Amino acid sequence: MVRGGWKGQNFLMSKEAGNEVGSRGIPTRSEVRSEDTWDLTPLFIDEGRWELELEELRTKRGVMSQWRGKLGGGKDLARALEEERQIDLRVEKLGQYASLRVAEDGGAAPARDRALRLEHLTTQLAEEISWFLPELMKIEDSLWEELIQDPCLAEWRGKLERIRRYKPHILGEWEERLMALAGPALGGPDEIFSQMTNVDFRFGMVKDEDGREIALSHGTFASLLQRRSSEVRRTAWKQYYTEFEHHAFSLAATLASSVKGDVFQARARVHANARARALFPDRVPESVYDRLVDAVRKNLRPLQRYHRLRKKVLGLPDLRAADLQVPLVSGLSKKTSFIEATRMVVQACDPLGEEYRSVLEEGLARSRWVDRYENKGKQSGAFSSGSYLNPPYILMNYREDVLADVYTLAHEAGHSMHTWLSHRAQPYQDAHYPIFLAEVASTFNEELLTHYLLEGPARKDLTLRAYILNRQIDDIRGTLYRQVMFAEFEQKIHEAEEAGIGLTLEFFRKTYRGLLETYLGEAMEMEDLLELECLRIPHFYSAFYVYKYAIGLSAAISLSRKVLAGDSATVEKVHGLLRSGGSTPPLETLRLAGVDMEKPAPVDAALDLFSRRVEELEKILT
């Protein structure tokens, strides 16, 4: 919404990411074929049209003030909310285009200029409407209940009830104005981290097994870690993390500033702590977070058993971080083209019905929702970006020799279809689903893909089956164990700031190393450079985001098992979840779909699946 400002981050991130790049290095944006890029013309036909729309938005400055002092009347409040909706629709569309152009090439000055000008204007708009929430919150409870029953406000009732929840955390008009003005500054650490790691970093070149020189980047790093040669993997890993070491003090200061901003906002808005503030919008009790961490900590043995299996199968005297991504099955290092990956993802989603499949196929294969391959200056990783009634877009850094990227495509396709369905089923004010539910939709698709592979060509071929089992194990490891470790780290560093402990580079390294030793176990060789991993995770700049991956996977496993068993009622419930947007609280939405995340069963089931998959893989490989 306008009153929160626009930060250029209207997208859903993938957990992590990893076209073949050879000796020529990474192409510039202008060298990428247009058919491999997203088509943004449904948003704006060109930059000129975007500029005209920005000027139209500029004319909206001051228009909201006409309802100041009038929000206690149903008709005036409805008119004010409608005016705000029209402004928000413009901001969202402008923001999506601007953020996507920056993401495709962060070094392009015109793209960054557009984003900064929009940010400046939306900050002004947010400042102008800073009176809105305080005025709503001044309405007495008895009058409020009468007000929201006004027929004029029927379509706004859900939104108004959600707003009213924030009453204890809404400040006075002057304070709200200051918070709006502070928005860009509070987003500074994220911007600095992105510019440093995506634009300024120079990782150099790495030689592969055949002596070819490969430009090391965020994208090629993921590919190189899957090479059979331990020398290539470990050289790439050390070279990659050495660049982070060269900037470690700056990155530590940037992360510390982000944490300080989180704590400042929690204290300013009278939350018990930064985590409570982050969980408040989703109505998630802190006990759910703690129960998740406890469950995973009690089930570390299967993870460490898997590490021992890795060390044995790879025949390594010591197992290092550079050895955790390479597939254990060596004979299936085949390439998967993007076209083939699209076909696999679409077919895997067959259980969700013809409408879902046809829309997905059109978007991925023909309507250019996806920006496919890496180029210089492009944001690393992957995300899905959506704005109301416009196409959803997917950023990828797809690599044909990394099977994980097929899963990443399935993941982001889940986000995009969630956006497509909810935006067409709900009015704008109820259409935007919380991240909590987004991760269920995305990891659900990953589970369907795994089932599709295991029940298809890998059903009788034990070598192929081992390969897919290995992939699923690594996915659960990365989504459940790894993200929960990240969640613990986030909790520890925020608690330290709240207790007045200095967030130095040494503190970050020591805290992260302690978690690594607990989670990874004795089979792992702990290298000092691995402590710097905590400085390369972009999700830490969206505080307390990562636990939702673990929750989402657990819920998705439960739901997918029912759908794949032929439970047509659950298929309908999943469609209901995808169409619900933000109309109901996420835990309630999940309960309606058949999963209760306030109980331990879903997380325990996911951990049990991991253990059983490790056992099956161990039998096949040994």
Residues involved in catalysis: 412
DSSP per residue, 331-366: GG-----HHHHHHHHHHHTGGG-HHHHHHHHIIIII
Q: Where are the alpha helices (DSSP H) in 499-546?
A: 505-520
* Antiparallel, parallel or unpaired: β 393-395 and 370-371: parallel
Contact 496, 507 (CB under 8 A): yes
Which amino acid, one-letter code, is at 485? M
Q: How far is CA 66 from CA 62, 73, 83, 492, in A?
A: 8, 13, 11, 46
3-state percent helix, strand, coil for the chain, nearest multiple of 5: 65, 5, 30
Tokens describing residue 424: 């067409």
Phi and psi at 346, nearest 5°, equal -65, -45
Contact 383, 11 (CB under 8 A): yes
107 C-beta neighbours (distance < 10 Å), count = 16
Phi and psi at 345, nearest 5°, equal -65, -45
425 C-beta neighbours (distance < 10 Å), count = 16
Own/partner long-range contacts of 81-87 (Cβ < 8 Å, ≥24 apart): 81/153, 81/156, 81/159, 81/429, 84/1, 84/2, 84/129, 84/132, 85/428, 85/429, 87/2, 87/57, 87/60, 87/63, 87/125
Q: How far is CA 31 from CA 109, 294, 400, in A?
A: 18, 49, 19
Rounded Cα distance between 482 and 519, Å, is 8
For residue 171, give the 3-state DSSP assignment.
Answer: coil
Contact 380, 85 (CB under 8 A): no
Q: How far is CA 268 from CA 122, 264, 494, in A?
A: 22, 6, 15
Q: Count Cβ atoms within 10 A of the Cβ of residue 582 and give its class: 0-12 exposed, 13-18 middle, 19 or more buried.
A: buried
Which of 467, 436, 455, 433 shows the shortest CA–CA distance to 350? 455
What value does the CA radius of gyration of the chain take, rounded to a whole number of Å? 24
Rounded Cα distance between 552 and 562, Å, is 16
User: Residue 28 has what DSSP assignment?
Assistant: P
